[in-house]
Amino acid sequence: MKLFLLAMLAFSSAAAAQEAAPPNLSVVTIEPRSFGYFVGDTFRRDIDMTVAAPYRLEHASQPSPGRLNYWLDLRGVKVAETESSGLRRYRLSLDYQTFYVPLSSAPLTVPGLTLRFSDADGNAVDAEAPPFKFVMAPLREIQPERPEEGPSGYLKPDAVPKKVGTLESRIAFGIGSLAALLGLALLAHHQAWWPFRARPQRPFTQAARAIKGRSAHDDDLENYRAGLIELHRAFDVSAGRRLLAEDVPGFLAEHREFQPLKEDISRFFATSRRAFFGNDVQGAAKVMPFDSVAKLGSRLGEAERRVA
């Protein structure tokens, strides 16, 4: 009987120990370089941990950002957790900054960490992250030269600011401004904008603007008559005399820029004759409506500006 009780006690102790010990617990540190650091430099340590799924990393065992000692600060802590195949994997990223000012190259040690994992039954296990050793170098000359005038020789006078010449920039700005103004003047001249708007050598351009201003009342027969007269006066000014339908071939021979509009010009004169000499303004408006007269004036103005 005693042997049976001892066997059962040993079996229960082994089972309890097996349940308390989490399988597959591992800790791997990914360290930065261990040399070449100066005051103010930062570096990161990554700690990869794997543990059985019932166990979780206790938040209280994680380090908190802040000052660790007089020369080392923990600037940031990040934890990433994933789970697969019954295992939980953690990556703990620690960002450090060193403020140590060595007089010569000196080895330093970042302290290690103790991280605790526990399950729902209260079982816990600790994982140790080893310390990290690195070397810092001073920010000074290894053997500075001693000035003849003594310690005051280490002080250097303030640098005198250099004068920056702006002559080239001002010249380039002036040339660019003049070029822009010249281009604007040429465009205004070409488009007959102010102050070139009232030039007599662009009668069709002026007539087109006048007809366009009457387009709001294009259904008014008197307005239609006025539009025809505006375009007639433009032909007269361009030809230098009163221009009738019989004079159109000679006018086109002298002003070849209007040759592509020969048919529209002939239709205009025929329509004008019907309106004024046939006293049939309404019939003329049906043959060549107001918008067709306005379009012809615009096209004549464009041809006029192309040769100006």
134 to 91, 110, 143, 147: CA distances (angstroms): 22, 8, 24, 35
Specify the pLDDT at position 23: 60
pLDDT tens digits in sequence order for the chain, 308 residues long: 444 444 454 445 444 444 444 567 899 999 999 998 999 999 999 999 999 988 999 999 999 999 999 999 999 999 999 998 889 999 999 999 999 999 888 899 999 999 999 988 888 999 999 999 999 988 866 666 777 777 777 777 888 888 888 999 999 999 999 999 999 998 887 776 777 765 556 888 888 888 888 765 556 788 888 888 999 898 988 888 898 889 889 989 998 989 999 999 999 999 889 888 888 888 888 889 888 888 998 999 888 888 76
- Alpha-carbon distance 118 to 129, whole Å? 17
Is the pTM of the predicted complex or chain greater than 0.75? Answer: no
Specify the pLDDT at position 191: 74
Specify the pLDDT at position 144: 65
- Alpha-carbon distance 262 to 306, whole Å? 17
